[in-house]
Structure 1
């Protein structure tokens, strides 16, 4: 009798162990690596997808780097996803270099902007005025971002096309925003390289300097891209991300929530909880 009971217990424990193992396997769908550069909206949406995909059972790694290494890493298969490709203008050089080794997917945001930006309290409207008003403005430089960014390459071209007597300073997105914040609070003149979508346009009263020579090109749309064969490995992720659509309101609120949170992932989690219906439209 005791032997029979012992056998039953062992069988029950074995079945429980198998069940637990299967349940664990279901929860772990593998590791997916996202490459991101430190543009505000890129940090925001990459952390948003990290939270979404981890909730779906994936292990997600975020790797932060400049934009060119993101493309290179994706083309070599070291990264799986990059959430931000600006086309047809801004990322055209990178796209032409790597297009055979990456897969471009659907656009998730339409109608970007980028160029030289100043606070609205500055008495200047066009890049053509920068030289004439240099003494009045009392500044010698334009505060840029990462040196490898396409926006910086366009800005170097703008200096040549408009023959601007300013230094374009390499920096980073966060460092540039720190300089803008300080100048804005003191109502000091400043010229920065900036883009939208960006939370700065909600936080501060800013304006693009007119670009009559169209150095910065027409408005882009933002796409996401994956390494080759990623769709075969994880078709549901590609399906969800192809359903993904954001506008100024949704993306602006995501960036603002993250900016005010303790860290980007915590902010993304909060925003997802407050926008469950929208996120469900992408993933269900």
Structure 2
């Protein structure tokens, strides 16, 4: 009986299998982000950095509730902007058994009601009985909010109740809110908006937070990143880089400004990385240095 030489067959099989794009390749890393300026900026930055390292990365813009659901069901791998211990506490408490909370990369984040510095008020309490000054809630001279369902909007609804304010909170978007702020600012008209720090608008306009003596918005937060369960075991190198990541007002502010002013977030992130290569390389090299 003639023996069959299997080596050419096995060789052809291995070449075909290994050459197939999806045979052993990992799925793209899916980064979920809500439509806030700093989330857009850092998500595009990390997409660029990880793609430089050979990873495929997909960005998925979703609302905050869907972001947490996606992490808990493995539909999303990473979320780079999680405010703790206050702003995202309700979402985190609901999903904490199914997601991993990691290191903070920005310290002292804040949110609340913001007005131009030229306005002669300093506290949320000063808004009481002045609703007529800000129009009827249908113009840009009202309390201009962002997307419905965000933690900031929920806190602002509670603040309106806590301070007994006779104001309508307008559901809007970050872009529309900034447009209303810009329009009022250029005419030196009164305007109150829901805002947060870090944000590039504080570099462009002279603004101030209204004091919050009743602590409706809570204490300052830190910004963390989260991952789905098991991400660190599958991508240990990426997790090490993210744990080494740290930004302050100058570095994050410059990134946000670059992304905002560029023709696209991708271009802005790419330009910022090129100008801040030592900082970025420090995140990527810190774990390797620690292991030596």
Q: TM-score, normalised by structure 1?
A: 0.89
How far apart, CA to CA, are the structure 2 residues paired with 1:192 and 1:208? Answer: 10
Q: What is the CA deviation profile of residues 196-254 of structure 1, one whole-angstrom value per residue up to 9, with x for unaligned ones?
A: 00001011000001111011011000000000001111111110000000000000000
Correspondence 1:88 to 2:90: no
Counterpart in the other structure of 2:108:
111
Q: For 2:184 and 2:136, how far apart are their aligned partners in 1?
A: 12
- 8 A contact 1:38–1:174 mirrored in 2: no
Contact 1:130/1:164, CA 8 A, preserved across alignment:
yes
CA offset at residue 133 of structure 1? 2.9
Relative to structure 2, which stretch is displaced further, 127-136 or 49-58? 127-136
Aligned pairs for 1:113-152 within 5 A: 113-138=110-135, 140=137, 141-152=142-153
Aligned residues: 267
Distance across 2 between alignment mates of 1:234 and 1:113: 31
Measured in 1, the distance between the counterparts of 2:230 and 2:118 equals 50
Please report how far the alpha carbon of residue 31 of structure 1 lies from its aligned counterpart in structure 2 after TM superposition.
0.7
Distance between the aligned counterparts of 2:120 and 2:62, measured in 1? 36
Give distance in 2, aligned partners of 1:137 and 1:144.
14
Q: 2:76 aligns with which of 64, 74, 79?
A: 79
Matched, 1:60 2:57: yes
* Contact 1:139 1:189 (C-alpha < 8 Å) held by counterparts: no
Provide the residue aligned with 1:222 in structure 2. Answer: 223
Q: TM-score, normalising length from structure 2?
A: 0.87
- Name which of structure 1's ranges 41-50 and 65-74 shifts more when overlaid on structure 2: 65-74
Unmatched runs of 5 consecutive residues or more in structure 1: 1-13
Q: 2:3 maps to what in 1?
A: none
CA distance in structure 1 between the aligned counterparts of 2:59 and 2:134, rounded to whole angstroms: 41
Match of 1:112, SS state, is: strand
Cα distance in 2 for residues equivalent to 1:136 and 1:150: 27
Question: Is the Cα–Cα contact under 8 Å of residues 142 and 169 in structure 1 kept in the other structure?
Answer: yes
| 1:139/1:190 contact within 8 Å kept | no
Paired with 1:280 and 1:134, the residues of 2 have a C-alpha distance of 51
SS in 2 for 1:62: strand
Select which of 59, 66, 69 maps to 1:69.
66
